[in-house]
Structure 1
Amino acid sequence: MKQVASDTLGFVPQKDIVYNKLLPYADKLDSESNDILAKIKGNLSRAVQLRELWPGVLFWTRRLSTYMRLYGRKFSKEDHVLFIKLLYELVTIPKLEISMMQGLARLLINLLKKRELLSREDLELPWRPLYELQERILYSKTEHLGLNWFPNSVENVLKTLVKSCRPYFPESATQEMLEEWRPLLCPFDVTMQRAISYFDLFLPTTLPPHLHHKGFKLWFDELTGLWASVQNLPSWEVHLVNLFARLANDNIGYINWDPYIPKIFTRILRSLNLPVGSSQMLVQRYAANAYDISHVVLWVSSLLGGPSQQAQAQLSGLFNSITSFFHPSNHGRWLMKLMKLLQRLPAAVVRRLHRERYRKPTWLTPVPESHKLTEQNITDFVQSMMQPVLLAMFSKTGSLDAAQALQNLALMRPELVIPPVLEKTYPAMETLTEPHQLTATLSCMIGVARSLVSGGQRFPEGPTHMLPLLVRALPGVDPNDFSKCMITFQFIATFVTLVPLVDCSSALHERTDLTEVERKLCSASAEFEDFCFPQKMDRRFSITDALFTFYFL
């Protein structure tokens, strides 16, 4: 396909929008996009040469942004690199108007978003202009006097820009950054926060293994020693944890974390700020400086696997110690943080599995075979999380977090996740006096619906539960209980979207190669018509009645 595109366009496109090929005028798009791109390149370069920032550069950069929305990155690698370098120079112009700088920065972020398209050999960007831009705006000496005004969104735009440019910093950048900010490292001074935040934001962690001596090995021992020496959770420790999490995720298998794993999980448990003792004592100073859960789960998911298996043992111990806090009778400010941990950790492990097994190889450092997650690693992880997740199904904060956790766990091990959920769902559908239990279990069943109906080798009997669940869910369509009615409709809609309702009972007589589960499914499919239109059966309610009830609501 790329060869055909290159013959038509005259270059190999970086990454165009494949759905454009389905448009009725798809044969005209190549010539149209070539004309637009030629105008953008010619007029943008002319505006830059004439130093016409407004309206020339502003107009044609917006046209480039529109071009990317319509056609994707439908330009050659050489043009891609030149666009990035041009916009980088424009963004870092001294004293550039803030609104224009933000617009150019957002376009540059969009160009850098797909890291797999450009390797370090294709592109190199200096780090110091971005540092000077951060200093001038985020640490302005005149803004508090009212002499300058910066919008609230500029900080997030600048930080996202640095994160996008970070993989392309030169090899010498780490040493230069250490020389610049190491003198600010004083735990008893406010400059400590500034230095660690810069380390967290700027230090590159995606260098290839043969350049590690120019990368994280220059600062790893120093910063880990600093992190281990503090016990009172200062505000700058959060930035150190963010840096370590990113480093662990980008270099799985190349760093020995075993000496630090017990302390890592101890600090994570401490930062959850759980009530302890008979007086339910809370240390309030930990609440403001607690670790960011998104970086905690990234760090933990990167530590799993490997020869030692120490991280999994510590993770199991962590969940054993906090499982009782997920009980539905418990409630407090700390519960939201626990639910975030429960919801995001399985998602982080699923992303790592996708990276190791399914993602196409890129220039980024791959995970070595010795540290890839094995089937036993996945089983141990799922088993360690099942008890707190099943308790969290009925939490006072709602069942959404537990449903999302079960969805990701079921993708990895449906045979361990779905049966316990079914054991709670069937009794909840039979009782009429506990509607909250029905609402929670149906929400979790919606989460595991895809893994249930897909069956597969791990849970082949899953599809046989679909029709009994649909039939038992029909009484839940109760206009007097709006929440139960809505979750029931969502439940029915999810299943009938995933599975076509077709009568396949004739296949029992025509095919001889069906498995036992497939025979059960074919015989059960004869009831689909009765499920939708129950004239032949003595049933008071059907899916058609349910839809009419929903219409009149």
Structure 2
Amino acid sequence: MSGCCAAGREPAALAPQKELLYNALLPYAARLEPESARLLSAIRCGLGRAVVLRELWPGALFWTRRLSTYLRLYGRKFSKDDHVLFIKLVYELVTIPRLEISMMQGFARLLINLLKKKELLSRDDLELPWRPLYNLYERILYSKTEHLGLNWFPNSIESVLKMLVKSCRPYFRESSTQEMLEEWRPLLCPFDVTMQKAIGYLELFLPTLLPPESHHKGFKLWFNELMDLWMSVQNLPGWEGNLVNLFARLASDNIGYIDWDPYIPTIFTRILRSLNLPVGSGQVMTSRSLSSAYDIGHVVLWVSSMLGGPSKKAQKHLNALFDSIASFFHPSNNGRWLVKLMKLLQRLPASVVRRLHRERYKKPSWMTPVLESHKLTEKDITDFVECMKQPVLLAMFSKTGSLDAAQALQNLALMRPELVIPPVLEKTYPAMETLTEPHQLTATLSCMIAVARSLVSGGPYYLEGPIHVLPLLMRALPGVDPNDFSKCMITFQFIATFSTLVPLVDCSSALQERSDLTEVERELCSASAEFEDFVLQFMDKYGSDIKYLEIKEDH
């Protein structure tokens, strides 16, 4: 590394990769520029000198820790050239043969941090070999001497190595896919224990972020082979979940470039089977080990990546899936399968929201964009929300709690508030009037807190949303009951949330001063006159209760 040579440059003149924006708000912000420049220059020189002298300890270890501190304090406040040089240097340090494990873990965590922001470095800027990581992974995870007590590896080493491979994977060479297949294809025997090892390696190492013009060197080399293998097995092998994870990542990274339609019926059938739901009057359940169960995070990523497109086939099968499992969300049902169902309900809308953000608002980068013909349309979003609305409303009163349903409603309301918020309001108003069902009140209030932002912002889809704020606040006042602590706390959270989102100001005078107000705005200004009454009534009636609760919590 040209550490000492780079120190002769003027660091302030170089465009930084990504600074911490909050540093500019500090009272001593003016002193940070020369301070960071001095520290970066010292790190360059010190790290370069330690490597040239082959001084791993204390030299390289000390300066890599200083670099980690620099990243925490100033962000990636260095040029792209420095960024690439740091990554290549630390990569070489990590892959030193037979390096001490604790030292390797420290270098690996620093490299993961340097590679964290993928949008800062494209494949043209950085290229990393895959085989040194494979040799490192093979040596540690499949050690032939650890079980004999000749080596000892900490429990965290596997997660660190997997995260390291995932961080480096986007920058593997185009030829790496073919090399990996030549290395691991001989192990692909469904009747041998080597199958699990081979599929695990393929899931972890295969790059899926190649540009469209390089797809013939990427997933097209293995997609049909592995998909046929997955569709041919029916005996729930342990490696089936690894294949699902690989296909989910492939679908997410290449939305619109793969035709999933021929496989969609089988995909949704397998997803339904993996939920392990009781069937029939005898409540028969298929015995499935945890190793063969699908990871819900990858399932929702796969499903959300297949939505849209000209055929709309994925949405049709998603409708059928939720129609078949909707009754399991009823509050009277309970079982170990309910946890997985609630995770599916909570994570799927969040995954679709992330995809929408990527398509419409995220700044374009070198990563493969969503194909124009497969971007989600307004009708696609409406169909998806309608599909999930009924199960989510049933799950509001689930025995496992209302948190998962509230998070699902929050994401659904971000997409289509006019479809989600009215039925929640229909359940909330009656719950506020009754005193005999506190569970119903706490569940509906937690869901209203989740959709509060979509409610008060109004917007073109749900203009009348802000009108409900004051009636909800007034009806929530009886919920401040020190004898029911959970109901009291959720009521305080409800009032605090809306009070934070909405300024409590009397705007009734605007009715005489402005003539350009809409009907909704006139109604809001008229209702705002009651805000002062609400605050006074709240403090007069419940000020002593609040003090009592504070004393109770202290004790």
What is the number of residues matched between the two proteins?
544
Where 1:317 maps in the other structure, the secondary structure is helix
Compute the TM-score of the two structures, normalised by the length of structure 2. Answer: 0.96
Residue identity matched to 1:249: S
Does residue 188 (structure 1) correspond to residue 188 (structure 2)? The answer is no
Q: Which residue of 1 aligns with 2:6?
A: none
Q: 2:129 aligns with which of 126, 130, 142?
A: 126
Bigger mean CA deviation after superposition, 514-523 or 165-174? 514-523
Residue identity matched to 1:210: E
Q: How does 1:107-256 map to 2 (within 5 A)?
A: 107-256=110-259
Deviations 1:452-499 (A, max 9, x none): 000011001101101111111111111111111111111111111111
Q: 1:25 aligns with which of 25, 28, 32?
A: 28
Residues 292 and 60 of structure 1, relative CA distance in 2, 3 Å threshold: same
The CA deviation at 1:550 is 3.9
The CA deviation at 1:8 is 8.0
Q: Which residue of 2 aligns with 1:12?
A: 15
The CA deviation at 1:285 is 2.6
Q: 1:317 aligns with which of 320, 323, 346?
A: 320
Could you tell me whether the CA contact under 8 Å between 1:353 and 1:373 is conserved in 2? yes
The CA deviation at 1:505 is 1.1
The CA deviation at 1:236 is 0.2
The CA deviation at 1:548 is 3.8
Q: 1:461 aligns with which of 460, 464, 475?
A: 464
- Separation of aligned partners in 1, 2:109 and 2:191: 37
Does residue 551 (structure 1) correspond to residue 554 (structure 2)? The answer is no
RMSD over aligned Cα atoms: 1.4
Could you tell me whether the CA contact under 8 Å between 2:431 and 2:444 is conserved in 1? yes
Residues 541 and 469 of structure 1, relative CA distance in 2, 3 Å threshold: farther
Residues 192 and 549 of structure 1, relative CA distance in 2, 3 Å threshold: same
Deviations 1:248-289 (A, max 9, x none): 000000000000000000000000000001110111135541
Q: Which residue of 1 aligns with 2:482?
A: 479
- Separation of aligned partners in 2, 1:20 and 1:287: 46
Q: 2:455 aligns with which of 417, 436, 452?
A: 452
The CA deviation at 1:10 is 1.2
Residue identity matched to 2:514: R
The CA deviation at 1:521 is 1.0
- Separation of aligned partners in 2, 1:44 and 1:240: 41
The CA deviation at 1:545 is 5.5
Q: 2:522 aligns with which of 504, 519, 536?
A: 519
Q: 2:499 aligns with which of 492, 496, 504?
A: 496
Where 1:36 maps in the other structure, the secondary structure is helix
- Separation of aligned partners in 2, 1:150 and 1:251: 37
Deviations 1:219-263 (A, max 9, x none): 000000000000121110000000000000000000000000000
Deviations 1:94-151 (A, max 9, x none): 1111111111100100000000000000000000000000000000000011110000
Could you tell me whether the CA contact under 8 Å between 2:482 and 2:545 is conserved in 1? no
- Separation of aligned partners in 1, 2:265 and 2:432: 44
- Separation of aligned partners in 2, 1:31 and 1:40: 14
Residues 542 and 520 of structure 1, relative CA distance in 2, 3 Å threshold: farther
Q: Which residue of 1 aligns with 2:64?
A: 61
Could you tell me whether the CA contact under 8 Å between 1:394 and 1:437 is conserved in 2? yes
Q: 2:102 aligns with which of 99, 102, 117?
A: 99
Q: How does 1:339-358 map to 2 (within 5 A)?
A: 339-358=342-361
The CA deviation at 1:547 is 4.0
Residue identity matched to 1:76: S
Residue identity matched to 2:28: Y
Where 1:526 maps in the other structure, the secondary structure is helix
Q: 2:407 aligns with which of 394, 399, 404?
A: 404
Could you tell me whether the CA contact under 8 Å between 1:429 and 1:438 is conserved in 2? yes
The CA deviation at 1:551 is 3.0
Could you tell me whether the CA contact under 8 Å between 1:331 and 1:396 is conserved in 2? yes
Where 1:160 maps in the other structure, the secondary structure is helix
Could you tell me whether the CA contact under 8 Å between 1:305 and 1:372 is conserved in 2? yes
The CA deviation at 1:546 is 5.8
Residue identity matched to 1:190: V
Where 1:533 maps in the other structure, the secondary structure is helix
Bigger mean CA deviation after superposition, 151-160 or 493-502? 493-502
- Separation of aligned partners in 2, 1:546 and 1:9: 57
Residue identity matched to 1:202: F
Could you tell me whether the CA contact under 8 Å between 2:276 and 2:288 is conserved in 1? no
Deviations 1:385-410 (A, max 9, x none): 00100000000000000000000000
Q: Which residue of 1 aligns with 2:4?
A: none
Q: 1:89 aligns with which of 75, 88, 92?
A: 92
Residue identity matched to 1:48: V
Does residue 273 (structure 1) correspond to residue 272 (structure 2)? The answer is no
Residues 148 and 253 of structure 1, relative CA distance in 2, 3 Å threshold: same
Could you tell me whether the CA contact under 8 Å between 1:508 and 1:522 is conserved in 2? yes
Q: Which residue of 2 aligns with 1:3?
A: none
Compute the TM-score of the two structures, normalised by the length of structure 1. Answer: 0.97
- Separation of aligned partners in 1, 2:541 and 2:254: 55
Where 1:527 maps in the other structure, the secondary structure is helix
Where 1:206 maps in the other structure, the secondary structure is coil
- Separation of aligned partners in 2, 1:317 and 1:96: 53
Where 2:498 maps in the other structure, the secondary structure is helix
Q: How does 1:322-341 map to 2 (within 5 A)?
A: 322-341=325-344
Residues 233 and 541 of structure 1, relative CA distance in 2, 3 Å threshold: farther
The CA deviation at 1:503 is 1.1
Residue identity matched to 1:162: V
- Separation of aligned partners in 2, 1:541 and 1:396: 36
Where 1:320 maps in the other structure, the secondary structure is helix
Could you tell me whether the CA contact under 8 Å between 2:480 and 2:542 is conserved in 1? no
- Separation of aligned partners in 2, 1:41 and 1:437: 61
Q: Which residue of 1 aligns with 2:80?
A: 77
In structure 2, stretches of 5+ residues that fail to align are: 1-8
Residues 400 and 204 of structure 1, relative CA distance in 2, 3 Å threshold: same
Residue identity matched to 1:377: D
Residues 306 and 222 of structure 1, relative CA distance in 2, 3 Å threshold: same
The CA deviation at 1:344 is 0.1
The CA deviation at 1:543 is 6.3
Residues 242 and 498 of structure 1, relative CA distance in 2, 3 Å threshold: same
Could you tell me whether the CA contact under 8 Å between 2:11 and 2:37 is conserved in 1? no
